[in-house]
């Protein structure tokens, strides 16, 4: 919580089957669009699909998605030791600005998990995000 204003951060790991990911994305959208869940929202994690998969399409229709190209030379995050796929993403809604994103390539980061971590620095605007 920022002052008295909530910030909702969701770390997700969607399933490996297309049907499972779609169902999970629909459930996530219901949570995000609940009237009781107000304030800035950040959804990040392992989406287990390419950008144009059904779950990513559903989320992109309702949330802003981060284009990693301006931030990163290497966007691939899976598998950890030799990343060849881009499965991890950041979506957001509300007064959120992504300042910086890193995908650390230190040895420990490459072997500690089956995904390379994605680290983001964000700014939450208290008076609304400038255009």
Q: Name the percent of the chain lying above pLDDT 90.
A: 31
Q: What is the pLDDT of residue 63?
A: 92
Q: What is the pLDDT of residue 108?
A: 73
pLDDT per residue as tens digits for the range 28-48? 999 999 989 889 999 998 888
pTM: 0.79
pLDDT per residue as tens digits for the range 52-88? 788 889 999 999 887 665 555 555 554 444 444 566 7
Domain ranges across the chain: 8-124
Fold of 8-124: Deoxyribonuclease I; Chain A (3.60.10)
Distances (CA, A) of 79 to 58, 69, 71, 111, 120: 25, 19, 20, 9, 20
């Amino acid at each position: 919580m920022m002052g008295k204003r909530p910030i909702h951060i969701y770390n997700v790991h969607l399933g490996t089957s297309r049907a499972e990911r779609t169902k999970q994305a629909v459930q996530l959208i219901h949570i995000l669009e609940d009237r009781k869940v107000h304030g800035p929202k950040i959804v990040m994690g392992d989406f287990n699909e390419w950008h144009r998969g059904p779950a990513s399409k559903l989320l992109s229709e309702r949330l802003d998605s981060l284009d990693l190209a301006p931030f990163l030379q290497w966007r691939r995050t899976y598998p950890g030791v030799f990343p060849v796929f881009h499965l991890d993403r950041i979506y957001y809604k509300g007064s959120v600005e992504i300042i910086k994103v890193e995908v650390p390539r230190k040895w420990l980061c490459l072997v500690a998990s089956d995904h390379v971590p994605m680290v983001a620095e964000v700014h939450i605007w208290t008076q609304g995000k400038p255009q």
